[in-house]
Structure 1
Amino acid sequence: MDLLALLNHLLNFVAPAAFLALVLAFAGRFLGGRRAGVPGWWVQCAFTFLAGVAVLLTGLVVSGRDGLMTTYAALVVVCGVVQWLAMRGWRR
């Protein structure tokens, strides 16, 4: 596998986490409103992306395969919880 193919595989591996992080950060900004103590959208996006990549890596290690629906379900749940924590959802 050459470098370009490896880069393509890595980008496709983290693409679901990146997409979900962007969607949740922007949805949280528009639906949740601006509140004191809430980090900027790019910080929320970074935290959610890192948590999503960790879930995808865990799913790959545990199952030995990429792309299982249980991994994607865990990705949605974990990213949603991270976004809720970043938006300080418990203070509503």
Structure 2
Amino acid sequence: MGPLDIVNHLLNFVAPAAAMALVLVLLGRLVGSRSASAMAGWLRWAILFVVGVAVLLAGLVLWGRDGKMLTYAALVVACATCQWVLVRGWKS
């Protein structure tokens, strides 16, 4: 496998986490608090992205392969919980 193939596989591996983070940041006002978070959008995206990649890596280590639906369900739950904490959803 060449270097371009490795980059392609890595980008495809982290794409669900990046998409989930982007959607949650863009629709952040609908999830949790009505007031905007004090932190910048790119920082919230980075935090959600790191959480998502960690969940995907945990699914890869646990089951030995990526793309399991349970891993994607855990990605949704973890990112939604993280978004709820970042927008202080308990205060709404």
Length-normalised TM-score, structure 1: 0.91
- 1:16 lines up with 2:16 in the alignment: yes
Residue 52 of structure 1 is matched in structure 2 by 52
Cα displacement (A) at 1:33 = 3.9
- The 5 A counterparts of 1:1-92 are 1-29=1-29, 31=30, 32-35=33-36, 38-92=38-92
Cα distance in structure 2, aligned partners of 1:17 and 1:38: 23
Cα distance in structure 2, aligned partners of 1:82 and 1:41: 14
Length-normalised TM-score, structure 2: 0.91
Q: Which runs of 5+ in 1 are unaligned?
A: none
Cα distance in structure 2, aligned partners of 1:41 and 1:64: 33
More helix by share: 1
Q: Which runs of 5+ in 2 are unaligned?
A: none
Cα distance in structure 2, aligned partners of 1:20 and 1:48: 8
Cα distance in structure 1, aligned partners of 2:59 and 2:38: 30
Q: Which runs of 4+ in 1 moved over 4 A?
A: none
Cα distance in structure 2, aligned partners of 1:42 and 1:34: 17
Cα displacement (A) at 1:34 = 3.3
The alignment partner of 1:66 has SS state of coil
The aligned amino acid for 1:49 is F
Q: Given that residues 38 and 86 in structure 1 are in contact (C-alpha distance below 8 angstroms), is that contact kept between their aligned partners in structure 2? A: no
The alignment partner of 2:27 has SS state of helix
- Spell out, residue by residue over 1:13-65, the C-alpha distance to the aligned partner (whole angstroms, 9 max, x if none): 00000000000001004x35434x63111111111000000000000000001
